[in-house]
Chain A
Amino acid sequence: MRSASAQKFWEKAVRALARRVNFAVWLERAAPGFFWLGVTAGFAAYALRRMRVEADGSAPGWWLGVGLGVLAVGLGGWWRGRGRFFRVVDARGWLEYRLGLHSRLSAAAAGVADWPPVQAVPTTVSWRAPGTFAWLGAAGGLALAGWLMPVPGAAGLEYARAVEKSPALAEAEAWLEQLAEQAVARPEDVAKMSEQANGLGERTPEERYSHSGLEAADTLRTQTAEAIRGLGANLEAAAAALEPFERAGGTRNDAEQGAVVARLGEALRGLQEGPLAAGEALQAKLGEAAAAAGKRSLSPEQAAQLKQQLARAGRAATGVLGAQGQGASVATADPDAPVRFGPGGKGAGAGSGEGDEVGSGGVQRGPGHAPLWFRDEASTASPGKNEAVGGDDFGRAALGELLAMERGEHEFSPRQTGAPSAAGAVAAPAQGGDVVWVERLTPGERAALKDFFK
């Protein structure tokens, strides 16, 4: 009488309908939560990427957070929708009504009637509210945006970050490197200075290009240069002190002998002291020479040979500095030509210029030269002459730096003269007076005035 298979079929259909409706209820209630979760996840992903923290599968904490968020939102959706979930009786009532079964399923469930024969059960509910999916789509879009949106300075965008060392620091490091190769200075002293340079170089780009960072690099460069110059001068002084010993020792009386030996001793002390001492080998040779000189046993040949070594070392040391001090200057031969900034000046050194020439601005800041120039730019935004900065490469321009100053003048038309006219004709070619201003109004200003005088 009662078909078990029919009962199973209809009960399954009823449960499926209840599940579908309850899923819709849950989704509807959880959708706003998923939206905020997506917003939070998107912002968190972006912030983590900004902070160079990997927000991907390699960070279990990230996935744990996302999972907990989904779980919390899911539970919240269930909690909010718990009073609106379809029970089995609701689903049964809906299904039998929509299928025109005249409550036969309810009656069969109560044991009053037979279960209806198995039949194809069409879909009785359909999705209609795009609002729910809009919440979810927005959530997914925001999360993806946080994940995929380019981060300034991240991989692929390094060009935007100036990571080079400042010129002063790079120069100082180059000097120290060459000095170490020349082996004219004590390695410990060179290493100590190199360590200072490395300390500056290991700073973040922001710190490196801060004012204090640039000042520190410039100071280091100056100190390094002075130390190298001092070493060179000491070596040349030592070489000069050996000059009297190229002659035979018997030609000098005791007073002269004492003076040249004392001078040689001072030169030796000079090579042993100071921020940069001479190399151990040179010091040793000079020490032996000084000792032999005191005993009048230093032969002229030995003195000449040592003098040559010291002079060579001195030249090598000062040669390390090379053509330091070249600054930028402005070359403005043609007053109408664009003002161009770039290399080619004859600045004598850091922060100085010669005569009318402009130096580089003191501290050697910035990653290099920025060839920029002024140019005219027609605009109706304001009267007068508009000047814009042009250039082939703005990537290396240090904004905020004073490039140059020019005297701006308003444009006027002496030819446009005539009888005075009524007020308000400002948009027309100017009239009245010997020299009149050519008014330039924005379209908005023009419209406002037009309305005012209408």
Chain B
Amino acid sequence: MAQNIPVLNDGELAAAQTRFERLLAGLDTVLFGQRALLELVVVGVMARGHILLEGLPGLGKTELVKGLAQSLALESRRVQFTPDLLPGDITGNPVLQEVEGRRAFVFQRGPIFANILLADEINRASPKTQSALLEAMQERRVTAGGDTHALPDPFFVLATQNPIELEGTYPLPEAQLDRFLFKIEVARSSSEVLQRIVQAREIGVSAEVPEAMSRAEFAELLGWVRRVHLPETVANYIARLVNATHQGESSASAGVRFGASPRAALALAAAAKARGLRWGRPHASFEDVQAVARPVLAHRILLDHGARLDGATTAQVVEKLLAEVSVQATPLPQSLAAAKVR
């Protein structure tokens, strides 16, 4: 099937790269000094994935999402998740109305009916409300009152969560975590970046982000990402990498209780293809897979108690996996070693 997809030509590659650069340049005015974070977010969006941003308050997570929506000229809604938030508050509720002289339930769309849903502090909502997002994130539709309603295309959930306040929070269930393409940790900025922020920004005034591309251009870009070629060797690498997350399949997975799902392999492939296009290539590479492996795999791996007591983290497991799993299917013999090339 993938072989029948037409190959991206040089013009399309150049146009894609230009759009990426414009988008990143616009976001750079919102979030200073977080180029790596911006790259990941953009790649995640281009891979049609949902993104979970985790970081301390005030680091600009919400501003980033708002800026992304402005840059892509997409409709965005923001929901502040609280413990008393109900599923219907997000998806919408059937409301009894009089229509043509008869009383009937009419579905009142919730804030989820947007291109970008900013789920702020998603871990503050109850599991019931969080699970209301499951169908929307996976199927891109909402079922209420027996009726199914399609969500706008494109549809992304960009959620944030605060890792330090545990009281009154509900950690996201594994099933929902698995639906996020990336889980990205937002780090604090350096003093130089802080100085830039102080000089350029003001409290209460939102940054104006120029539109990087039209909705049509964005849709075209999403289509190009799907046409990026995934070489057989890279697909094999992704498969071995995901398989190695399971206990017993590699030495790096020693403390892993549950490994990554096949959805993780699909997510890796999609993210690698998006990253390949971001760098103007018509194909994904091993380097693309390695670049997105940590945000894709880390939140999909569950460690056992022993490993947690030892202070191990899933990010460390992924790093070990990358070091252990070779890019080629057949490992080098013991009598040979990789020579220094670069």
Q: Do they bind each other?
A: yes
Kindly list chain A residues whose C-beta atoms are within 8 Å of the C-beta of B337.
125-128
Q: List the B residue with the shortest CB-CB distance to A98.
A: B341
Q: Known: A93-B327, A113-B283, A124-B341. Is A106-B335 also a contact (CB below 8 A)?
A: no
Is there a chain A Cβ closer than 8 Å to B220's Cβ?
no
Kindly list chain B residues whose C-beta atoms are within 8 Å of the C-beta of A97.
286-287, 327-328
- For the complex, what is the distance from the CA of A28 to the CA of B326, rounded to whole Å? 20
- For the complex, what is the distance from the CA of A94 to the CA of B287, rounded to whole Å? 12
- For the complex, what is the distance from the CA of A316 to the CA of B284, rounded to whole Å? 114
Is there a chain A Cβ closer than 8 Å to B332's Cβ?
yes
Q: Are B336 and A89 in contact (CB under 8 A)?
A: no
Q: Are B283 and A106 in contact (CB under 8 A)?
A: yes
Contact mask B316-342 → A, CB, 8 Å, 1/0?
A: 000000000011111111111111011
Instruction: Kindly identify, within residues 76 to 95 of chain A, every residue whose CB is under 8 Å from any CB belonging to chain B.
Output: 81, 84-87, 89-94
Is there a chain A Cβ closer than 8 Å to B143's Cβ?
no
- For the complex, what is the distance from the CA of A25 to the CA of B336, rounded to whole Å? 9
- Which B residues have a C-beta under 8 Å from some C-beta of A? 7, 229, 231-234, 237, 276, 279, 281-288, 326-339, 341-342
Which residue among B276, B333, B338 has the maximum number of chain A CB atoms within 10 Å of its CB? Answer: B333
8 pairs of residues in contact across A and B, judged by CB atoms under 8 Å: A81-B333, A97-B328, A104-B281, A110-B231, A111-B7, A113-B282, A122-B341, A125-B336
Q: Are B338 and A107 in contact (CB under 8 A)?
A: no
What distance in Å separates the Cβ of A79 from its nearest Cβ neighbour in chain B?
A: 15
**Residue in B7, B285, B331, B335 whose beta carbon sits within 8 Å of that of A127 in the complex:** B335
Is there a chain B Cβ closer than 8 Å to A255's Cβ?
no
Q: Are B339 and A112 in contact (CB under 8 A)?
A: no
Kindly list chain B residues whose C-beta atoms are within 8 Å of the C-beta of A124.
338-339, 341
Kindly list chain A residues whose C-beta atoms are within 8 Å of the C-beta of B326.
94
Q: A102-B276, A103-B286, A107-B283 are in contact. List 10 more A-B contacts (CB 8 A).
A: A24-B335, A24-B336, A93-B286, A103-B231, A106-B232, A106-B283, A110-B283, A112-B229, A122-B339, A131-B335
Q: Are A86 and B336 in contact (CB under 8 A)?
A: no
Q: Are B338 and A125 in contact (CB under 8 A)?
A: yes
Q: Are B233 and A112 in contact (CB under 8 A)?
A: no
What distance in Å separates the Cβ of B333 from its nearest Cβ neighbour in chain A?
A: 5
What distance in Å separates the Cβ of A65 from its nearest Cβ neighbour in chain B?
A: 28
Q: List the B residue with the shortest CB-CB distance to A90.
A: B328
Q: Are B283 and A126 in contact (CB under 8 A)?
A: no
Kindly list chain B residues whose C-beta atoms are within 8 Å of the C-beta of A131.
334-335
What distance in Å separates the Cβ of A93 from its nearest Cβ neighbour in chain B?
A: 4
- For the complex, what is the distance from the CA of A40 to the CA of B331, rounded to whole Å? 33
What distance in Å separates the Cβ of A17 from its nearest Cβ neighbour in chain B?
A: 10
Q: Known: A99-B341, A112-B283. Is A94-B335 also a contact (CB below 8 A)?
A: no
Q: List the A residue with the shortest CB-CB distance to B5.
A: A112
- For the complex, what is the distance from the CA of A131 to the CA of B335, rounded to whole Å? 8
Q: Are B281 and A126 in contact (CB under 8 A)?
A: no
What distance in Å separates the Cβ of A84 from its nearest Cβ neighbour in chain B?
A: 6
Q: List the A residue with the shortest CB-CB distance to B326.
A: A94
Q: Known: A93-B328, A111-B7. Is A123-B339 also a contact (CB below 8 A)?
A: yes
- For the complex, what is the distance from the CA of A123 to the CA of B327, rounded to whole Å? 17
**Residue in B237, B282, B286, B287 whose beta carbon sits within 8 Å of that of A112 in the complex:** B282
Is there a chain B Cβ closer than 8 Å to A290's Cβ?
no
Kindly list chain B residues whose C-beta atoms are within 8 Å of the C-beta of A405.
none
- For the complex, what is the distance from the CA of A317 to the CA of B96, rounded to whole Å? 156
Kindly list chain B residues whose C-beta atoms are within 8 Å of the C-beta of A103.
231, 233-234, 283-287
Q: List the A residue with the shortest CB-CB distance to B281.
A: A102
Pairs of residues from A and B, 3 with the lowest C-beta to C-beta distance, nearest first: A103-B285, A106-B231, A107-B283
Kindly list chain A residues whose C-beta atoms are within 8 Å of the C-beta of B330.
84-87, 90
What distance in Å separates the Cβ of B16 from its nearest Cβ neighbour in chain A?
A: 15
What distance in Å separates the Cβ of A399 from its nearest Cβ neighbour in chain B?
A: 52
- For the complex, what is the distance from the CA of A103 to the CA of B7, rounded to whole Å? 15
Kindly list chain B residues whose C-beta atoms are within 8 Å of the C-beta of A100.
287, 341-342
Q: Are A112 and B7 in contact (CB under 8 A)?
A: yes
Kindly list chain B residues whose C-beta atoms are within 8 Å of the C-beta of A155.
none
Is there a chain B Cβ closer than 8 Å to A129's Cβ?
yes
Kindly list chain B residues whose C-beta atoms are within 8 Å of the C-beta of A21.
332-333, 336
- For the complex, what is the distance from the CA of A87 to the CA of B232, rounded to whole Å? 13
Instruction: Kindly identify, within residues 3 to 45 of chain A, every residue whose CB is under 8 Å from any CB belonging to chain B.
Output: 21, 24-25, 27-28
- For the complex, what is the distance from the CA of A111 to the CA of B279, rounded to whole Å? 19
What distance in Å separates the Cβ of A92 from its nearest Cβ neighbour in chain B?
A: 7
Q: List the B residue with the shortest CB-CB distance to A31.
A: B335
Is there a chain B Cβ closer than 8 Å to A219's Cβ?
no
Q: Known: A25-B333, A86-B330, A87-B330. Is A102-B339 also a contact (CB below 8 A)?
A: no
Q: List the A residue with the shortest CB-CB distance to B13.
A: A113
What distance in Å separates the Cβ of A134 from its nearest Cβ neighbour in chain B?
A: 11
Q: List the A residue with the shortest CB-CB distance to B8.
A: A112
Is there a chain B Cβ closer than 8 Å to A272's Cβ?
no
- For the complex, what is the distance from the CA of A125 to the CA of B284, rounded to whole Å? 24
- For the complex, what is the distance from the CA of A81 to the CA of B338, rounded to whole Å? 20
Q: List the B residue with the shortest CB-CB distance to A102.
A: B285
Kindly list chain B residues whose C-beta atoms are within 8 Å of the C-beta of A102.
276, 279, 281, 285-288
Q: Are A113 and B332 in contact (CB under 8 A)?
A: no
Kindly list chain A residues whose C-beta atoms are within 8 Å of the C-beta of B286.
93, 96-97, 102-103
Is there a chain B Cβ closer than 8 Å to A132's Cβ?
yes
Kindly list chain B residues whose C-beta atoms are within 8 Å of the C-beta of A98.
338-339, 341
- For the complex, what is the distance from the CA of A94 to the CA of B286, rounded to whole Å? 10
Q: Are B332 and A125 in contact (CB under 8 A)?
A: yes
Q: List the B residue with the shortest CB-CB distance to A100.
A: B342
- For the complex, what is the distance from the CA of A100 to the CA of B232, rounded to whole Å? 18
Kindly list chain A residues whose C-beta atoms are within 8 Å of the C-beta of B283.
103-104, 106-107, 110, 112-113
- For the complex, what is the distance from the CA of A27 to the CA of B283, rounded to whole Å? 36
Q: List the B residue with the shortest CB-CB distance to A27.
A: B335
Kindly list chain B residues whose C-beta atoms are within 8 Å of the C-beta of A91.
328
What distance in Å separates the Cβ of B279 from its nearest Cβ neighbour in chain A?
A: 8
Q: Are B341 and A89 in contact (CB under 8 A)?
A: no
Q: Are B336 and A127 in contact (CB under 8 A)?
A: yes
**Residue in B229, B284, B329, B341 whose beta carbon sits within 8 Å of that of A90 in the complex:** B329
Q: List the A residue with the shortest CB-CB distance to B331.
A: A84
Q: Are B234 and A106 in contact (CB under 8 A)?
A: yes
